[in-house]
A and B are shown apart, each in its own frame.
Chain A
Amino acid sequence: MEVPVLKQGPFLIATVQAALTDEDLVHLRRAMVERVVISRSLGVIIDVTAMDIMDSFASRTLREIAQMIRLRGAETIIVGIQPEVAFAMVQLGITLEGVVTALDLEEGLNYLKQKFNSSA
């Protein structure tokens, strides 16, 4: 399943639609980095509002995406984790360590704009 990625100025917004298979996640990882390179983006928002499960593979893949994008000099932020998903994650010890998170798309954009402005 292809994850739609939109461009918003210097930023990219990837909106996860529903439950992603492991294959989808691997595909997303490659696609995101390629898009960052092509668009010369400064930041990426991955919106997981529609994800009702976050398992350890998904968490690891998202961390890898953030690390790979950082190597391209860009920032990644995960937004839209639902309360029930967050609760389940911490109980299983899945923490998305080292990845910036925010409540929703609006907060994610605010974060990136602030970061972008302060380093300008």
Chain B
Amino acid sequence: MAKETDRLGRGTVWHEALVQDASPEGTAVLLRELVAHLRQNRTQLREEWARRITEAKLLTAMSKDEIFAEATAVYDQYVEALETGTFEALQAYARSLSERIIPRGVETHEVVGIVLLLRDVLARSLFAKYQADFTKLDRILDAYEPAANRIANTVAVGFVQERERVIRQQQEAIRELSTPVLQVRERLLILPIIGVIDSHRARQLTEQLLRGIRTNRAKVVVIDITGVAAMDATVANHLVQTVEASRLLGATVIVTGLSPEIAQTLVTIGVDLGKMNTVGDLQGGIEQAERLLGYKVVPIGASS
């Protein structure tokens, strides 16, 4: 330690002529020391962490054994990332972990929570170890914190990205499910639409319907939109176009199940209602379609 006097030679200012060793070599040495400590104390730190996870009531969807198994894997990945400074392995692990736990109903806050708890557990153990040497603790934390933050970030982002991927997949599946074109009588098709229609889906619907009209040689189509709560002007226009395109293929379209909101939209955008053949509900629509096709439905055994 060097002793210094100020300019006027008064008093002594003691401070350590310790150059803040922020050089990469210095950080690397510290990280190695840190990693060694984390490896040595793996068993108890991991247990401490698992205990705190249960205490915080996180990962309730998983059993104790499962939590312990995943905790072990996460701990080792964490230490590995600290040691190597590379995060690809951690990213890959985070994605595979997410794939496993998302179907189990594990939420984002739980995943972020447990990673932050691990960060705390490890930090506390560092405080305990270096409490006598505050300066060294300071430097150790300088090395530890950026890496720990990056790890927390990597895991959380990996989890969220996996969730988004699953949601997109489900949306696509719903889209495909929801536009069946069904033949219920000779020359009569029904297109029941459920859910939210956007421009993309509306276009898909139209193409599917026109192909169905040609394949089934349909003369009447009932489009039922009972299951559609609302549609904007663009989608309403798509619906009108669908009706017109169907007519070009020689098919009459009956639209049924318009909600008050949709009726309002159609009137507001000025749809030529003369072009739109609408009936209140699906039953009424099918009955009218049958009339148009020349069918009459009579109960069996009706008196002649």
Residues of A in contact with B (beta carbons under 8 Å apart): 79, 81-83, 86-87, 89-91, 95-96, 101-104, 107
Contacts and interface: CB of A to CB of B under 8 A. Distances in A.
A87 B211 CA distance: 11
A13 B53 CA distance: 81
A104 B217 CA distance: 9
B167 interface: no
Given A91-B241, A101-B249, A107-B250, 18 more contacts: A79-B250, A81-B249, A83-B207, A83-B249, A86-B248, A86-B249, A87-B206, A87-B210, A87-B245, A89-B248, A90-B242, A90-B248, A102-B250, A103-B213, A103-B214, A103-B250, A104-B217, A107-B217
B209 to A, nearest CB: 9
A90 B207 CA distance: 12
A34 to B, nearest CB: 27
Interface of A (DSSP majority class): mixed
A106 B221 CA distance: 19
Which 3 residue pairs spanning A and B have beta carbons closest together?
A: A83-B210, A102-B250, A90-B241
A101 B245 contact: no
A101 B247 contact: yes
Interface in B221-276: 241-242, 244-251
B250 A90 contact: no
Interface in B197-215: 206-207, 210-211, 213-214
Contacts, number: 48
A40 B171 CA distance: 59
Contacts of A86: 210, 245-246, 248-249
A113 to B, nearest CB: 15
Contact of A90 (B214, B219, B245, B251): B245
A95 B249 CA distance: 12
Interface of B: 206-207, 210-211, 213-214, 217, 219, 241-242, 244-251
Contacts of B248: 81, 86, 89-90, 95-96, 101
8 contacts: A79-B250, A82-B214, A83-B249, A90-B241, A90-B244, A101-B248, A107-B217, A107-B250
A95 B210 CA distance: 15
Contacts of B247: 101
A87 B243 CA distance: 10
Contacts of A87: 206-207, 210, 245
B206 to A, nearest CB: 6
A90 B248 CA distance: 9
Contacts of B214: 82-83, 103
A89 B182 CA distance: 25
A117 to B, nearest CB: 14
B186 to A, nearest CB: 13
A96 B275 CA distance: 13
Contacts of B251: 103
A83 B250 contact: no
A83 to B, nearest CB: 4
Nearest to B212: A83
Contact of B211 (A81, A83, A89, A107): A83
Contacts of B210: 83, 86-87
Q: Which of A83, A91, A95, A96 gathers most chain B CB within 10 Å?
A: A83
Contacts of B241: 90-91
Contacts of B245: 83, 86-87, 89-90
